[in-house]
Every structure is written in C-alpha cells, then in structure tokens.
Amino acid sequence: MISKKTINAIEVCVFLASQRSLGYVTTTELSPRLGLSISYLENILKPLKENNIVTAMKGPGGGYMIRGDVSLLSVWDIAAVFESTFIESPVSNEADVGVEAEPVTLASYELGLEQIVKDTLSNFTLADFVDYALVEVKSYAKELGRFKFKPLPAPFIPKAPNSVFQLHMSF
C-alpha cells in the first residue's frame, strides 16, 4: 500500500527535521546522504512544498526546511501527500448491487487495512523519528566552499636537500 516514493519522502522529512537548527538544506547536500538523485528529490520535495510541509528558499544559503512544529506533524500528513486512498475516493454502492459478495468483502478488507495503516501512521509524529545527534553533521557546502571546488590536495614537500651546498650536510 505504501509506495517507495512515500517512504523516501518520510526519510527526507525526518532528515530535514533533524537538520532544522542548522538552517536550509540543499538538494546537493541531501542527495549523497539519502542515496537519491537530485531530480528524484525535487520530485519528492515539490508536492511537499505545495502541501505546506516543507518550505523552500532560493539563492545562496537557500534550500529546504521543515515548516512548523515537528511534534505536530504526523507521518500520515506526509504519506497522504503521495498516497491515494479508498477512504477519500467516493465508492458508489448503487453500481455494486448486482455484483457478487466477494468483491464487496475484498473492498471492505482493503478499506479496513487502509484505516489501520492511517491510524498507525497518524499516531507517530515526525519528532518521534528525529535523531538530534545528527545535528552536528558537517555540511558538504562548507566543505566544498563558496565555488563548489573540491579541496586541494596537501602540497608535496620533498625530504631532500634543496641545493648542492646542503647536499654535504645530509651525509
């Protein structure tokens, strides 16, 4: 019932909630930490932004951040963005009058299972899954610098005499 995209969205939200005190997190920082591509992350973050779960800021220092209090945001609030449910879709009973009893019981079973999943996910908030020990994780943007260059390797310093005059001191 729960898709892989929904599970990834929950993981993204948990990570953003854990990094909340550090400010906005870019997709470039999220991608290697969650093992997801940047385009896939953007496909996840766009509906979350449209449903006011995350907030976004463009430009330098921008990125994504969880909106609101994480102790009030349930896991079902995140899952409901990506999952279509039987509960929300209208079911017409008039069309099922001449149908066998088996599809009705199967539909009621799926509806009951869906209700259990919804109730379970509604009982957990995002704060239940946030590990505040992750807050001290070093930012990739600070490591790469302003222009996103990789750090230079340590310069090679030879351990040999620099001139002919220093050569006699090495023996």
- The answer to whether position 90 is within a domain reads no
Distance CA 156, CA 153 (A): 9
- Residues 25-44 have a mean pLDDT of 90
- Between the CA of residue 69 and those of 22, 26, 52, 65, 149, what are the distances in Å? 15, 20, 12, 11, 36
What's the CATH number where 17 sits? Answer: 1.10.10.10
Overall number of domains in the chain: 1
Alpha carbon distance 76, 50 (integer Å): 16
- Determine if residue 103 is left, alpha or beta; phi over 0 gives left, psi from -120 to 50 gives alpha, anything else beta: alpha
Residue 149: per-residue pLDDT = 63
Poorest-pLDDT segment among 38-47, 49-58, 111-120:
111-120
pLDDT score, position 47: 93
| Domain membership of residue 41 as a residue range | 4-84+125-167
Cα–Cα distances in angstroms (integers) from residue 167 to residues 6, 24, 97, 130, in the given order: 68, 56, 103, 62
pLDDT in tens, 81-133: 888 765 555 444 444 444 454 555 767 777 888 888 888 888 888 888 887 54
Beta bridge partners of 74: 125
162 assigned to some structural domain: yes
